[in-house]
Amino acid sequence: MAASQKAASAQRAQPSNVLPHPTIALLRTASLSSAAQQEIERMILAGEIPPGAKLTEAWLSEKLGISRGPIREAFRMLEEAGLVKQEKNRGVFVRSIPLEEAIDIYDLRAVMDELVGRRLAVGITPEQTRRVKLVVDQMDQAARGNDADAYHLLNLQFHDLLVEFAGNRKMAAIYRKLVNELALFRRRNLIHKEVLPQSAVEHRQILKAIGSGDPELAARAMYVHVTESKERMLRSEARLQAQANRDAPLRARAGRR
């Protein structure tokens, strides 16, 4: 009896040479790819990786502590999400959205947000309202503290919750892609101190309009918010362009020295 127990223990102590089932190996890779995609997306949306930056498998593999295979799959998912672009023989880069494309996306979002508002006015639950209100309260706090980084992420969370609660999965997938593409534009708009309080007021007005149960009122509040956001973006771009024009002669003189 003792001899058989020793033999069994010896068998357990030996390393297994059995390869995992292909399905299990695929699930492990998919899980790592998903985790990598989520973390890279977080870094992009948080502004840790700026538009135009090149993403390398080696750097991200070391930073995230995983092999390069899941990183490559994460790049594919991020490209589908509209956050990166893969250029042949050059690599993978964080997308930089042209102004004209941003305007088009804002206009499309405004129409989609009208639908979201109508659906939520008649279908949002008390628990869903509570969750949205919690985010709005946190946005107010971030605005009072002039914390643009925290406000930006809460803004993304607010709109993501609304489109999720609207209950149209196809629209949610398209909407999230549009929001991702506009995320860096919105971060730049929120740099100015006066923008945060006004934006926070608009989000509370949206919540109030949805809570009224009036589909048209909710749709209008959502539409106005997006169009106001677009106007803020345009004003911000105009200021940045004016500053660049003022700085151009200084840069030219410095280059001649």
pLDDT, tens only, 52-89:
899 999 999 999 888 999 999 999 999 988 899 999 99
pLDDT of the residue at 121: 98
- The pTM of the full predicted model, rounded to 2 decimals, is 0.73
pLDDT at 245 over 50: yes
pLDDT of the residue at 28: 54
pLDDT of the residue at 29: 52
Q: Which phi and psi angles does 84 have, rounded to 5°? A: -130, 165
Between 169-189 and 99-123, two packed helices, what is the crossing angle to 10 degrees? 130
Query: Do 110 and 228 contact (CB within 8 A), yes or no?
Result: no
Query: Residue 214, SS3?
Result: coil
Number of neighbours of residue 146 by Cβ within 10 angstroms: 11
Reported as a pLDDT band with limits 50, 70 and 90, residue 17 is very low
